[in-house]
Structure formats: C-alpha cells, structure tokens
C-alpha cells in the first residue's frame, strides 16, 4: 500500500510550476494534501487540481510545516532562501534550479541514468539542467555498452527555457514582424522571432557560457565520469517549448550503428523517430507535450571510425524540468526514500 504524501510546489505559477501541477494529476501521484506556494503578488489567486480550486499562498517560514515533499521551481535565489527551513521541517526538497547541482553533497538525478544516487540524499536532490537531462537520457544507454570518450553537442534551445513570459515575448515579436513593425526584446537581449543567437547566459574567460558549462559539468557528475570530455555550443532558437540537440559521440571503440539504433529503441524514456525514405526525424513540434525524448538520424561519423552522430528533440518543460522532478519523487516513493507524515501513515 502506498501512503499519500503532503506535497508543496514552490513556484507554482511559472511555466514549470504549472506543468508540475498538471503532471502530479496526470500521473496520479499519491497526494494527501497539496500546497501551492508563490510570491506575495500571486497570493489569493487559485489554480485547478483534480477539479478543485487550490489557493496560492505566499511562501514564508511556516509554509513547510507538515509537508513531506517540496517540488521547487522558483529560481536559484528563492531555493537558497528556503531550502534550509524546508529541510529542517523534515521535507525532501527536489530543486529545479541551478543552486545546488554541483554541490558534492547533493545528488543530481536523472532516473533513467543514475536512480541509485537518489538514495544518498540528505533532504535535498537537484534536478539537472534541461539540455543535460535530454542528452543524458539519449546518450547513457550507449555509454553503458561502450564507454564514451568525448561528446560534442550543439543545442537549439526553445524560448521556454527562459520561462512563460519569454514564450509570450517570441509570439509578440513574431506578430510585430508580420505586421511590418520592429520587434521589441525585453527578456532576451535580442529579438528571437525569426532569429537565433548564441545562448545569452554569462560567458567565462574561456568563451563558454553558463549553459554550456552546465552541460559539461552536470553530465560528468551524473555519469560518474569526472574527466569525460564534453564540449557544447548552445543556441537560442525561435521555438516555443522543445529543445533540440545535435550530438557527436566518440567511443573507445567503433559502435555499430544498427546496434546503437536497437539499444535506443528499447531504452526507457526514448522514442526512436526515423523515416529515412521520407527524411523524417525528430522535430520540436512533435516533441512538444511528449514525455519521451525523441531520438533519430543515428549515423556513422564519416570523419571518425569510433564516433556516431545523432539528433534529438525533447520537451523542455516536461522531461527537461517538471517531469524529471516528478519522476524523482516517484523514485523516492518506490524505494521508500521518503516517509509520509506519521499521522497519515497510521
């Protein structure tokens, strides 16, 4: 028998927060009580869950009392502000921000890749970056069979990675351009509609942006290979909510393409999409709203005998964020790594 849990969503009004709410309902997560936490300006508003209207509450130091699980997606600064209070109240805190991902004491988990890491939690589990999650799901089944030596990634990242307001900004810019007006950029540094530009996160001294370094460092941690050679070029493109990635994978030995295709077609969290005759492969429009990562165009790298090329698309809001967090929560329940409130269990 699975006992129900008292759950809180921190950042319930954002793109990921509302997706968390939807997924908890769709996947019938065992919930006894659900608390929606947001900023003071959202307090008093309501969101729907299983036919009920739930009020939004302003988060404070009493918000986590009698809560078993927190799903947080309110940004790094908010998570840093409340995580100690939450853990002190006895909750397990699954954080979607970048605040704790590279903390050596905090497990960084993709359930299809390193579910065992969840058992090491001390009240806090980090959800990886969206591009890292999608890449890890697609690459790990191959890495298990033939260890990777190097990954070269090029990403094509949707507006949703910057939130719901960014998605609306792209729509507004597209309308302006189609009506012969100048597009206005507010959240992004440049107009994204009918345009693209290298990812707008801060650059380091080596010329890599934060988003690219997340892919490098997080992949190493998740795979448990601290010296894995990873390089990435991240690009923002005018797509609403699904990221795409072109990956070049170098292995220790040549990897048979047919074997790779078979492995990926059978791997959890992946849908193989390949129609070579029609030149039909994963597209963001197909990946949007889907749980699985769409993978295809798997082929031999003509320039290197031990390298493969593949292409993937995945919903940034779902598997790239909210779904992965909910799957971590489900993993905790399945492995008895989170205890329901005593009053509820008895």
CA separation for the pair 22, 15 (Å, rounded): 11
DSSP letter for 202, please.
Answer: P
Q: How far is CA 113 from CA 231, 275, 310, in A?
A: 20, 27, 18
- Give pLDDT tens digits for 175-184: 999 999 999 9
- 17 and 52, same domain (yes or no): yes
pLDDT above 60 for 135? yes
Task: Look at strands 46-49 and 52-58 and give their pairing.
Answer: antiparallel
- 150 and 273, same domain (yes or no): yes
Number of domains in the chain: 2
- 95 and 165, same domain (yes or no): no
Dihedral, CA of residue 290, residue 240, residue 316 and residue 280, to nearest 10: 50
Residue 56's domain is classified under what CATH number? 3.40.50.720
Q: Which domain holds residue 183?
A: 131-315
In a domain, 185, yes or no: yes
Q: 304 with 331: CB under 8 angstroms?
A: no
The reported pLDDT for the residue numbered 340 is: 80
Q: Is 335 helix (H, G, I), strand (E, B) or coil?
A: coil
- Give pLDDT tens digits for 97-125: 999 999 999 999 999 999 999 999 999 99
- 160 and 80, same domain (yes or no): no
The reported pLDDT for the residue numbered 255 is: 98
- Give pLDDT tens digits for 182-200: 999 999 999 999 999 999 9
Q: How far is CA 36 from CA 9, 32, 73, 188, in A?
A: 5, 14, 12, 28
- 231 and 139, same domain (yes or no): yes
Active site (catalytic) residues: 130, 243
- 278 and 147, same domain (yes or no): yes
- Percent of the chain topping pLDDT 70: 98
- 157 and 301, same domain (yes or no): yes
Higher-confidence residue: 344 or 143? 143
In a domain, 120, yes or no: no
pLDDT above 50 for 77? yes
In a domain, 118, yes or no: no
Please tell me the least confidently modeled range out of 55-69, 246-260, 331-345.
Answer: 331-345
The reported pLDDT for the residue numbered 112 is: 98
Residues 6+ apart with CB under 8 A from 244: 155, 156, 157, 237, 282, 283, 284, 287, 311, 312, 313
The reported pLDDT for the residue numbered 341 is: 67
Residue 305's domain is classified under what CATH number? 3.30.360.10
The token duo for 191 is 């107009």
- Give pLDDT tens digits for 82-98: 999 999 999 999 999 99
- Give pLDDT tens digits for 147-171: 999 999 999 999 999 999 999 999 9
- 179 and 51, same domain (yes or no): no
Angle value at C-alpha 86, between 81 and 87, nearest 5 degrees = 115
The reported pLDDT for the residue numbered 3 is: 83
pLDDT above 50 for 234? yes
- 215 and 254, same domain (yes or no): yes
In a domain, 125, yes or no: no
DSSP letter for 127, please.
Answer: P
Alpha helix segments (H runs only) across the chain: 15-26, 76-88, 130-145, 164-178, 210-223, 257-266, 284-287, 323-334, 342-345
In a domain, 109, yes or no: no
Q: 232 with 248: CB under 8 angstroms?
A: no
Calculate mean pLDDT across residues 27-49.
Answer: 95
- 253 and 171, same domain (yes or no): yes
- 216 and 311, same domain (yes or no): yes
């Amino acid at each position: 028998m699975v006992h129900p849990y008292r759950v809180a969503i921190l950042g319930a009004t954002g793109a990921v927060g509302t997706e968390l709410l939807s997924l908890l309902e769709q996947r019938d997560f065992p919930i006894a009580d659900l608390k929606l936490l947001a900023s003071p300006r959202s307090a008093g508003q309501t969101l729907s869950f299983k036919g009920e209207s739930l009020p939004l509450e302003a988060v404070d130091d009493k918000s986590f009392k009698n809560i078993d699980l927190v799903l947080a997606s309110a940004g790094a600064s908010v998570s840093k502000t409340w995580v100690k209070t939450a853990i002190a109240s006895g909750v397990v805190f699954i954080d979607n921000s970048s605040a704790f991902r590279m903390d050596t004491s905090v497990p960084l988990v993709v359930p299809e890749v390193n579910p065992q890491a969840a058992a090491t939690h001390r009240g806090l589990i980090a959800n990886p970056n969206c591009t890292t999650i999608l890449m890890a799901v697609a690459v790990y089944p191959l890495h298990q069979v033939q260890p990777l030596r190097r990954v070269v990634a090029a990403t094509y990242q949707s507006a949703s990675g910057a939130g719901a307001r960014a998605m609306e900004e792209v729509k507004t810019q597209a309308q302006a351009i189609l009506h012969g007006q100048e597009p206005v950029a507010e959240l992004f540094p440049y107009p994204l509609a009918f345009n693209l530009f290298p990812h707008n996160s801060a650059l380091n001294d080596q010329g890599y942006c934060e988003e690219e370094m997340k892919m490098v460092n997080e992949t190493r941690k998740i795979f448990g290979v601290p010296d894995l050679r990873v390089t990435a070029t991240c690009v923002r493109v005018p797509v609403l909510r699904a990221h795409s990635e072109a990956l070049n994978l170098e292995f220790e030995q040549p990897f048979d393409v047919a074997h790779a295709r078979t492995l990926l077609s059978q791997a959890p969290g992946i849908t193989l999409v390949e129609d070579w005759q029609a030149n039909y492969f994963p597209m963001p429009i197909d990946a949007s709203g889907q749980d699985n990562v769409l993978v295809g165009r798997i082929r031999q790298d003509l320039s290197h005998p031990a390298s493969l090329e593949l292409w993937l698309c995945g919903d940034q809001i779902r598997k790239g964020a909210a779904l992965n967090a909910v799957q971590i929560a489900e993993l905790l329940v399945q492995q008895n790594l989170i205890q329901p409130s005593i009053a509820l269990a008895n």
